[in-house]
Amino acid sequence: MLVFSAICPHPPIIIPTIGKENLEQVENTVLAMKELEKELYASQPDVILIISPHGDIIPEAFSINLNSEYVADFEDFGDWQTRLEFFNSPELIAQIRSITENKLPLILISNQKLDHGTAVPLYYLTKHLKNIPIVPINYSFFDYEKHWQFGELLNKVITKTDLRIAVIASGDLSHCLIKGAPAPYSPKGKEFDKELIALIKEQNYKAALKLDKDLIEGAAECGFRSFLILMGIISEYKHETEILSYEAPFGVGYLVANFKLK
């Protein structure tokens, strides 16, 4: 059963040992992640499904990392101390594999190290959920509709299992909101973030599939496909959407949104 679902950003700068004096520039995001952590803990999840844009993406297939144990560290960002460990959920991975068979290509991969799209949200959200089993999922480069369909298939597994499932869609919004941002400035960035947040507020998720493709690509986002998978799941449930924070101090849109089940 589904007990929790949320959208999270993944800038390593929100990790205190990495952000240091810059942490106050992402204060809203940090506070929102702390708030979300309380909500996740209260939902008593057994397993976390986490979708990231930055794992070992296979363009022609969705993929799940089935390594028996995972390590989240931030050595690539100069933090040699933080190290979190997680375990997989073989039962759930087997069920996802079986439900997608003959419907959508799914490949199982193995990598002990978690990417930062997975590690940053887990750093905040599992403060009181040490060693919780996780299922690290990578999106594909299939069209947007197929990502929604993958979400619907995941939801079949979620509704069937007695395990209490949390789903986290990791992803940042536009990367081109200001001059000096990671991607060259484009006014499409602001428009994309505004439209996406509006449709999430209105729960008009199908409108995400109708967004102009030039707008999406022009926004240089990384999270859109993660969010579509989540939308394929959450659109089956009565819920409220809560935008906990949105900010873009470095020209990249960071959104924290909670989809509260009714």
Q: Is 149 helix (H, G, I), strand (E, B) or coil?
A: helix
Nearer to Zn ion, 92 or 222 (CB): 222
> Which residue number is nearest to Zn ion in terms of Cβ?
222
**Whole-angstrom Cα distance, residue 57 to residue 118?**
13
Stretch that binds Zn ion, among 19-27, 38-46, 63-71, 169-177 (CB under 5 A): 169-177
Cα–Cα distance, 46 to 40 (Å, whole number): 11
Number of residues binding to Zn ion, judged by CB under 5 A: 2
In the complex, least distance from residue 40 CB atom to Zn ion, rounded to whole angstroms: 21
37 vs 172 by CB, closer to Zn ion: 172
Distances (CA, A) of 29 to 166, 172, 239: 20, 12, 22
Among 105, 109, 91, 98, CA closest to 52:
109
List C-alpha distances in Å: 81 to 24, 57, 125.
Answer: 22, 27, 18
Q: At closest approach, how far in Å is the CB of 172 from Zn ion?
A: 4
Cβ proximity to Zn ion, 151 vs 223, nearer residue: 223
Sequence-ordered strand ranges (E) for 171-253: 239-247
Q: How far is the CB of 117 from Zn ion (least distance, A)?
A: 6
Q: Which of 37, 73, 115, 172 binds Zn ion (CB under 5 A)?
A: 172
Contacts of 152 (CB under 8 A, 6+ apart): 232, 233, 236
**Using CB under 5 A, which of the segments 33-41, 122-130, 179-187, 217-225 binds Zn ion?**
217-225
Measured distance CA(147)–CA(228) in Å, rounded: 6
Of 19-27, 65-73, 178-186, 214-222: span binding Zn ion (CB under 5 A): 214-222
Check residue 221 for interaction with Zn ion (CB under 5 A): no
Q: How far is the CB of 210 from Zn ion (least distance, A)?
A: 24
Contacts with Zn ion, 104-143, as mask; x by CB under 5 A: ----------------------------------------
Tell me the window of 121-129, 139-147, 166-174, 213-221 that interacts with Zn ion (CB under 5 A).
166-174
Residue ranges in 43-136 assigned as alpha helix (H): 90-100, 116-125
Question: Which residues partner with 2 through β-bridges?
Answer: 165
Does the CA dihedral 129-52-161-241 come out positive or negative?
A: positive
Binding Zn ion (rule: CB under 5 A), the pick from 122, 168, 222, 244 is: 222
What is the closest distance, in whole angstroms, from the C-beta atom of residue 161 to Zn ion in the complex? Answer: 29
